[in-house]
Structure 1
Amino acid sequence: MEIGSIIGGLWSHGLIYIVPFLFVLTIIVFFHELGHFLIGRLCGINTLAFSVGFGPELIGFTDRSGTRWKLSAIPLGGYVKFLGDENGASIPDRDAVAGMSEEERRHAFPSASVGRRAATVAAGPIANFVLAVVIFSAVVFVNGRVVGDPVVASVEPNSPAAAAGFEPGDTVISAGGETIEYFSDLQRYVASVGANPIKFVVRREGKLVDLTVTPRLETRTDEFGNTITMPLVGLRADNARGGFRVEQPSVIEAVQFGMAQTWFITHQTVGFIGQVLTGRQNADQIGGPIRIAKVSSEVSTIGIGALLNLAALLSISIGILNLLPIPMLDGGHLLFYAFEAVRGRPLSERVQEVGFRIGLALVVLLMIFAFWNDISGQV
C-alpha cells in the first residue's frame, strides 16, 4: 500500500472523530461563554476578549466595543476575559486595576459589586442548562416523540420482574411514586434507580396491584461495541399492546419536555457524582476528550438530531462541572463571592491565591484521570 493511501486513510478516519467532536464542543463552549459575556455586559463590565479555544489566535475580529472575538488553536474550551482580569479564569489583576482611571475602574470586573460579579460568573453554567432546554425542545418539536402505552407485552423468564409477579397485559400506573404515562417513562425511571427496589402499581383486569422489583445490573454491548452496565427488570413492550406512535408536540409541550428532560438528566448526573464520591458508583464512567470524540462520532452516524441531543447532555454535564465549588471553576468563584457577601469584604489575596492553586491542581488531576479512563480501554 502506498504511503499516500495510508496517510489519507488515517486522515479520513481522524475526521470521523474530529468533526463531530468539534461541532459538539464548539456549540457548548460558545453558549457557556456567551452567558458570561451577555450578563457581564448587562452589568456594565467591559469585555476584552471572547475566545473559543485556548492558545494562539487563528482568526478573529474586534467589535466596536473593543472586544476581541477569536477562534484559538486548542479547541478544548474557551474563555471570556473581562477588563481587570489577569487571565481568562477571572483571577483579578490588582496591579492593572490600581493603574486604571476612575472611569475604567467603573467597568472593570474586580471593581463590580459582589452581586454583579456573581451574576456574571453564574451566567455561564446557567447558559449551559438553557442550551440543553432549547436543544431538547427543538429536536422533539421537529422530529416528534415516539411513545407507547406502558403495557407489558412479555416478561423475561427468571428476571426480577418475573420473580416479583409481573404478568403480560399489566399496565404500569406508577413506579416509585412517579406517574408512568409512556413505556419510555418506565424505562427512564428504571435506568435512574440502579439496583435499588422499586415499588410499582399496575392495573390488572381492572384492579390495582402493588409489586416490588429490585433491578438486576447487567452488562451489555451496544450497537457501537461499547460495554454498558445498566439496571434491568425484564419487562418488554410491543406495538400490538403498546400502540407505539409518533406524537407531535406543540411549542409549549416541546418546551415542557425540554425542561423536564434537562431536569431529569441534571438530577441523575448530580446523583451519579454523589455516588462516585461515596464509593457507590465506579468512577471509570468519567471520560475526557477522547471518549467524547468517540461518542460524538458514533452518535453522528444516527443523525443530526441524535448529535444535538448529545450536545445537550454534555452541556448539562459541563454546567454541573463548572458549578462545583472548586477554585478555577465558576463554582469556586461563586464560593469566594459567598464568603465576601457574608464577611462584607473579599477574602485575602493570599487565601484566594492558595485556593486557586489548589483548584488548579484538582482540575489537572481530574483531567489526567479522565484521560487515563479514555486510554485504559474503558472507552
Structure 2
Amino acid sequence: MNLLLTVLAFVAALGPLILFHELGHYTVARLCGVKVLRFSIGMGKVVWSRRLGKDQTEWVLSALPLGGYVKMLDRRESPELALAPADEGREFTQKSVWQRIAIVAAGPLANFLLAIVLLSVIFMVGVAEPATRIRAMAENTPAWQAGLRGGDQIVSVNGHPVRVWSELRFQLVQAALEKGGARIEIERPGSGHYSYAFDSSQLATADLESDISAKLGLAIARPPAVLTKVLPDGAAARAGLREGDLIDSIDGVHMIDGLAFVETIRANPERDLTVIGIRQGSPFAVTVRPERDPKDNVGRIRTEVSLMPEMLTLPQGPFTALGHAAGKTWDTSVLTVKTIGKMLTGEVSWRNVTGPITIADYAGQSARIGLVPFLSFIAFVSISLGVMNLLPIPVLDGGLLLYYSLEVLTGRPLPERLIDLAQRAGLGLLVALMVLAVFNDVVRLL
C-alpha cells in the first residue's frame, strides 16, 4: 500500500510540474505567433494523442513520464520541408532573438510562478510548525560550547528573523554555504535576550549532507516526561507508576523530556531500571523492568507521554503571503545555485545529487503527512526544476538561452555545426548526471 501511495504521489507531483513547464513554452510561443505542432507530457513512445484547435496541434501522453516537450514549427528539423505561405512567418527561427529567448525562458519561469502560487496559498492558510525553542544538548556539542542552553528560543540567525524550525534550518544552511559563521539571537526564559555565534569551522559545508541543525546539537524542545496514560497489566502499572507522574531520572540520568524517557525505556529491554520522579509534589522511586517487544526488540512498559513540541501557526494576508512566497522562491533558487557551485568546486559532496527514486520517496512521505506538506513539496521541487532547466547545459533551456545571448552579443546566430556538437556534449553530460543521481538513490536505499 505504501508503494502504491508513493507511486501515485510521485505522478501527482511530477505531472503538474511538467505540465506547467511545457504550458509556459506553449503559451509564449503562441503569443509570439509560432505554430505549435505537438505538446507532449512524457517522452518516448506515444500512448495517447488528440489533435485540437485551428492548427491541429497534437496533444500527447508519452510512455516515459520524466519530462515533456513542445514541438514547434522549425525549419532546422526538416530543411526540405516546404512551408505553406501562411506558415512562413510562424516558423520558430524566423522570430526575433528576443522572442526566442522569451519562449525558451517561459518554461522555467512557469515553474517559479507555480511555486509562488502554491507557497502563497500555504502561507495564507498557515501551517502548524515546530517553534524554535531548543532541547537541552550535550556539553560536547557546538551549540553548548557556543553558549546555547535547553529552553532557549532562537529568534534570528545573522539578522534574519526565524519563528519556526524550517526557517531556522534554512538560515543555517545559508550561513554554512557562505562560510561566514552564524550569529544566533535567543530569548532565554526569565533571563532576557542574548547573542551567541557559531564559527565557520562549526558550519562546515560537509554538514549539508545531513541535518545541519542536528550536527550543531540543536533539536526541537519537547514537553517534560509526564505520564499521560499508564495502561493496565503493563510493566509500568506493575511497578506502581501512575498517570500524572513526572519522571525526573532513570538510573541516575536526568530525563530532559518525554523523548529522552521513551528512548531510555526502548534501549533497556528486560533490565531493572530505577525510576525517580515527582507525584503530586512529592518525590518517589520505583523499579521498573521493561518487557522486550518481539517485533522490534526494544523495551516497552505500556505508558504514554506527550512528545508534541510547541507549535506555531502563522496565517498571513494575501499580499504578505505573496511577498513571502516570492522571497522564499528567490532564496531557495539562490541556495540551489550556491549548492551546485559548491559541488563544482568540491566543497559539497556529489552525493547530494538526487534522482527520481528519492523524489518519489519524498513525495510519498509528504503525501502521508497531509495535503499542505505535499503541496509544499511540489512547490520546492518546482523551484528546483526551474533552476536546473536554467543551467547553461546544451539540450536544457539554459543552454538555448546561452546560444541566444551570444547571438545578441555577436549580432549573428551560432554556427549550426557548433550547436550540434554542443548538443551532443550536453546530452552526454545530462545522461551522466542522471546515472549519478540514480546511483545515489540506490545507495541511499541500501
TM over 0.5, shorter chain: yes
Superposition deviation, residue 259 in structure 1 = 1.6
Q: Are 1:194 and 1:230, in contact at CA under 8 Å, matched by a contact in 2?
A: no
The more displaced of 230-239 and 319-328 is 230-239
Q: Are 2:132 and 2:164, in contact at CA under 8 Å, matched by a contact in 1?
A: yes
Matched, 1:124 2:124: no
Matched, 1:137 2:204: no
Q: Which of residues 340, 345, 350 in structure 2 aligns to 1:273? A: 340
Aligned equivalent of 1:75: 65
Q: Are 2:151 and 2:221, in contact at CA under 8 Å, matched by a contact in 1?
A: no
Superposition deviation, residue 170 in structure 1 = 5.0
Superposition deviation, residue 148 in structure 1 = 6.8
Distance 2:355 2:157 in 1: 34
Aligned equivalent of 1:39: 28
Deviations 1:58-81, CA, capped at 9 Å, x for gaps: 223222132111211211111000
Deviations 1:109-142, CA, capped at 9 Å, x for gaps: 1111100000000000011111111111223323
The more displaced of 26-35 and 192-201 is 192-201
Shift of the 54–238 alpha-carbon distance from structure 1 to 2, 3 Å rule, reads same
Q: Are 2:105 and 2:397, in contact at CA under 8 Å, matched by a contact in 1?
A: yes
Distance 1:363 1:28 in 2: 19
Deviations 1:180-230, CA, capped at 9 Å, x for gaps: 45555333312433385212344567876442124467999xxxxxx9712
Distance 1:238 1:189 in 2: 19
SS of alignment partner, residue 194 of structure 1: helix
Superposition deviation, residue 105 in structure 1 = 2.2
Aligned letter for 1:82? M
Q: Are 2:40 and 2:61, in contact at CA under 8 Å, matched by a contact in 1?
A: yes
Shift of the 216–327 alpha-carbon distance from structure 1 to 2, 3 Å rule, reads closer
Shift of the 76–170 alpha-carbon distance from structure 1 to 2, 3 Å rule, reads closer
Unaligned runs of 5+ in 1: 1-11, 86-91, 221-226
Distance 1:14 1:174 in 2: 40
Deviations 1:133-191, CA, capped at 9 Å, x for gaps: 1111223323x133676555645433212111224565545322323455553333124
Superposition deviation, residue 294 in structure 1 = 2.0
Aligned letter for 2:358? R
Distance 1:59 1:110 in 2: 29
Superposition deviation, residue 378 in structure 1 = 5.3
Aligned letter for 2:160? E
Shift of the 145–308 alpha-carbon distance from structure 1 to 2, 3 Å rule, reads closer
Q: Are 1:114 and 1:340, in contact at CA under 8 Å, matched by a contact in 2?
A: yes
TM-score, normalising length: structure 2: 0.71
Matched, 1:62 2:51: yes
Distance 1:151 1:18 in 2: 36
SS of alignment partner, residue 301 of structure 1: helix
Q: In the TM superposition, what are the counterparts of 1:1-379 in structure 2 within 5 Å?
A: 14-65=3-54, 66-84=56-74, 92-93=76-77, 95-96=79-80, 99-142=82-125, 144-146=126-128, 154-167=136-149, 170=152, 172-182=154-164, 184-194=166-176, 196=179, 197-202=181-186, 209-214=194-199, 215=202, 229-232=210-213, 233-235=216-218, 238=221, 244-377=311-444
Deviations 1:285-322, CA, capped at 9 Å, x for gaps: 21222222222222221122222211111111111111
Distance 2:165 2:439 in 1: 37
Distance 1:250 1:218 in 2: 36
Distance 2:370 2:212 in 1: 27
Q: Are 1:84 and 1:96, in contact at CA under 8 Å, matched by a contact in 2?
A: no
Deviations 1:66-105, CA, capped at 9 Å, x for gaps: 21112112111110001116xxxxxx326056x3244312
Distance 1:237 1:200 in 2: 16
Unaligned runs of 5+ in 2: 224-308
Distance 1:14 1:194 in 2: 35
Distance 1:100 1:273 in 2: 43
The more displaced of 292-301 and 38-47 is 292-301
Aligned letter for 1:63? L
Aligned letter for 2:211? M
Cα RMSD, aligned residues only: 3.0
Superposition deviation, residue 106 in structure 1 = 0.6
Distance 1:200 1:360 in 2: 45
Query: What is the percent sequence identity of the aligned residues?
Result: 33
Distance 1:237 1:296 in 2: 24
SS of alignment partner, residue 310 of structure 1: helix
Bigger helix share: 1
Shift of the 285–43 alpha-carbon distance from structure 1 to 2, 3 Å rule, reads same
Rg comparison, structure with higher value: 2
Distance 1:13 1:239 in 2: 29
